[in-house]
Amino acid sequence: ILYARPRARDNTLAINWFEVRWYGANSSKTRRMEKKVIIKPKNKHGYNMDTLLKRAQYWEVDMVTNIEEELLPIRTEVSFIAKAIGQLNHIENTCRLVRFDQLNV
């Protein structure tokens, strides 16, 4: 079973896919869930569809495809916004240092 999980950290948002597997017996109350992150290719905003679909159950294929198609533009926009926020923070810190230096002269 696959699921996508968003994670907000600092000035960015990550949306990662996880694969869930169950093991153990329900009757003996040893049933446990194991989740494993699916690695996204570096320098890309989306996952390799072949990788996702290979791990998906047959009944998940359409849903996973639709969700990943919707997440791609979101990840792209988040990337641009995070870079812009980083630049603004850099500019703000530089201006603060310049003002501090001018006050101490």
Each residue's pLDDT tens digit in the chain (105 positions)? Answer: 999 999 998 878 899 999 999 888 888 888 899 999 999 998 889 999 999 999 999 999 999 999 999 999 999 999 999 999 999 999 988 888 777 667 665
Q: Which of 47, 103, 105, 100 shows the shortest CA–CA distance to 72?
A: 47
Q: Nearest Cα to 8, choosing from 74, 63, 65?
A: 74
* Closest listed residue to residue 46, CA positions, set 78, 24, 2: 78
Q: Alpha-carbon dihedral of residues 90, 9, 71, 19, nearest 10 degrees?
A: 140
- Longest CA–CA span in the chain (Å) reads 76
- Rounded CA gap, 53 and 60, in Å? 8
Give the global pTM. Answer: 0.77
